[in-house]
Amino acid sequence: MNRYNQAVEAYVEKAIEELHFEDLLILVKDEHSLGDYLFSPCKNIEYRFSGRVGIFGNVWIESGSLIKRVEGREETIVLEDFIIELNNIVGMDELTLAQFIEEANQTIYGDLIFKERFETIKNHFLSFDFHAIDSALPGHPKILNNKGRIGWGADEFQKFAPESGSRFKLHWLAVKRDQILLGLDNNFLKEAKNDQFFLNSTQSDLSEIYEKCNNQKISLEDYIVFPVHPWQWNRYIQIQYRGMLEESLLVSLGEWGPDYSAQASIRTLSNCESKEMPDMKLSVSILNTSSYRGIPQRFIENGYKVSRGFEKVVEEDNFLRNKVLIAKEVGALSVLAGSFSRLKTSPSRFNEMLGCIVRESVPSLLKEGQSAYPVSAFFFRESDSEKNYSFVKELITESEMSYTQWFGEYFKNVVIPLYYLQVIHGIGIVAHGQNVVAFLEKGIPRGIILKDFHGDLRMSDQSVHLKEEWTKSLSKLPPQYLIHDLLTGHFVTVLRYLARVCHDFKMMSEAEFFKLLNQEINQFYKDNDINIPPEMNLLRDEFEKLQVNNVRFKIGYKETSGSPKPLVGRNIKNPIVYYNEGEKNEL
């Protein structure tokens, strides 16, 4: 089977698994073949595979076992055919269906780049630093079209996608200071000899860029210089900001400075020449997964205050102080969007088109002997072979700990601090595999680094910090909603996959995995004499299941002024409580 067909087969396997989890597909166990299941999207067509039902009640397919039969004859699995057949069940209108197929083909193209790169790096994962690992991961585990990137073509995938591993220079602009929203933590670069915050964040020789400014008669007292993603400059800024460019309110200085490369989020870029220098998060107005990847203006002026305030909470808490680090957002800028800003319900991307956030890099926070990985790295496995390579298994082997000991440390130093932030401080962060970074010592999890606070940091409407100034711009949610930043963000979107890897690579069963988590949670309750409200109790019988793929099927691709809201499926029987029953799961 060639690489393209392998990618298509993996896509279809994931689609069946995730849409079964979202209660959208009915699977039938084949009574004549042990471990075989059937999915029939329409008459005379069936997809047959070997697999098992995991502890969350969804099927896990044995890689390489999937076959398609049409009227009893085996046929090649074709991506577009599968999606059209699937639509008999999920019910997209044809406008949405066509766009979904387009996005799926984009995703397959990105997967092919990923697979080609993986072949060259798979033997070196343990030697990789944070950014190398982050950029080499396969993408969002739940969303089917996780590399859709609508707006990009093949050249952009090769030049700017994280899986390509490409490096590129940023385009720099000078903007009149009265045309921007600005928020800077001047303590971050207090030794700088000028107030050009974004230039100083590159740690580069500024003589060349100063010469560019002089040649265009740019006064650095009147202008501030900042970067834009080179694709964004070519696709949008030259056209949509033409008036400002003609009036010299905005001036192009061209490409300059160190090389950068994309992290998994695409718009966050790492300095390739000095890894401890800050990351740059830049507007990239492509549709990827659920939204356009711009920079919202809401947090620009107060983002650094949020980071400072959150760090202060951590530093003043004896439990959190040594377990949680904050990758602070230290500077942000957004150019005012002109006529778009006067439209009250225009699509959000038009007001998020030209912005920049400077954030402390993960390597800059580490001490000697420490390493860091996005927690999504821990459920990474080689895509083409079910039991060939597991990153976390290799990592645990190097640590010389037992699997039980290692995952006990993970729960104690990664999961429990996230929960503690919620129940003690009323602070939640969407705890998916990118926002949460585990830092390790000698290969053992010792704590977490939290990042990405422009929208993914929220607060309970009952938090003890509500009156503090730094919290004013944060979204406030009832506790029963905020807890899903952990339940859905981490348990469903990280631990569900990590438990599968543990089972498949014979480290421990899914039941043993969640029994271990149960023990750590019970120990936390024992050590902290606090009143846990029922909606925050991690040992309740059930919790709500949020559907992410079904949202796309229902609302299509129509642009809105905000992000789409998830839909709710059937409740999940809590595997932390009913872990013993998980091994008996049947369809």
Would you state the pLDDT for residue 558?
86
Q: Which two tokens stand for residue 560?
A: 């809105």
Which has the minimum average pLDDT: 269-273, 395-399, 450-454, 478-482?
A: 450-454
Q: Which two tokens stand for residue 151?
A: 């707006």
- Tell me the CATH number at 2: 3.30.310.280
pLDDT surpassing 80 at residue 335: yes
Vertex 132 angle, CA 128 and 136, to 5°: 110
Average pLDDT of the chain? 92
What's the average model confidence in pLDDT over 232-242? Answer: 96
- Tell me the CATH number at 549: 1.10.510.40
What's the average model confidence in pLDDT over 512-527? Answer: 96
Residue with tokens 């990137």: 149
Q: What residue numbers bound the domain in which 48 lies? A: 1-91
Domain boundary among 65, 91, 117: 91
For residues 40 and 54, the answer to whether their CB atoms sit within 8 Å is no
Query: Is 354 contained in some domain?
Result: no
Taking alpha carbons only, the member of 248, 267, 227, 237 closest to residue 337 is 237
pLDDT surpassing 90 at residue 334: yes
Would you state the pLDDT for residue 561?
67
Give the model confidence (pLDDT) of 56-92 as tens digits: 999 999 998 999 999 989 999 999 999 999 999 999 9
Which has the minimum average pLDDT: 189-193, 233-237, 327-331, 482-486?
A: 189-193
Alpha helices in 329-444 (DSSP H): 391-399, 403-410, 416-425
Furthest CA-CA distance within the chain: 80
The structural domain count of the chain equals 2
Would you state the pLDDT for residue 385?
47
Displacement of CA 586 from its chain's centroid (Å)? 31
Would you state the pLDDT for residue 582?
60
Would you state the pLDDT for residue 250?
97
Could you tell me the pTM of the whole model? Answer: 0.94
Would you state the pLDDT for residue 386?
46
Which has the minimum average pLDDT: 399-403, 538-542, 579-583?
A: 579-583
What's the average model confidence in pLDDT over 322-345? Answer: 90
Q: What is the C-alpha to C-alpha distance for residues 225 and 358, in angstroms, rounded to an integer?
A: 13
pLDDT surpassing 70 at residue 387: no
Would you state the pLDDT for residue 190?
66
* 346 vs 95: which has the higher pLDDT: 95
Would you state the pLDDT for residue 388?
77
| 3-state DSSP of 517-577 | HHHHHHHHHHHCCCCCCHHHCCCCCEECCEECHHHHHHHCCCCCCCCCCCEECCCEECCCC
Ramachandran category for residue 420: left, alpha or beta (phi over 0 → left; psi -120 to 50 → alpha): alpha
Residue with tokens 């192009």: 252
Q: What is the C-alpha to C-alpha distance for residues 14 and 11, in angstroms, rounded to an integer?
A: 5
Domain boundary among 72, 91, 110: 91
Domain boundary among 60, 75, 91: 91
pLDDT surpassing 50 at residue 111: yes
Taking alpha carbons only, the member of 126, 90, 134, 277 closest to residue 199 is 277
Would you state the pLDDT for residue 142?
95
Residue with tokens 């834009």: 228
Query: Is 514 contained in some domain?
Result: yes
Query: Is 374 contained in some domain?
Result: yes
What's the average model confidence in pLDDT over 423-432? Answer: 94
Q: What is the C-alpha to C-alpha distance for residues 405 and 439, in angstroms, rounded to an integer?
A: 16
pLDDT surpassing 50 at residue 116: yes
Would you state the pLDDT for residue 120?
76
Would you state the pLDDT for residue 383?
55
Which DSSP symbol is given to 195? S
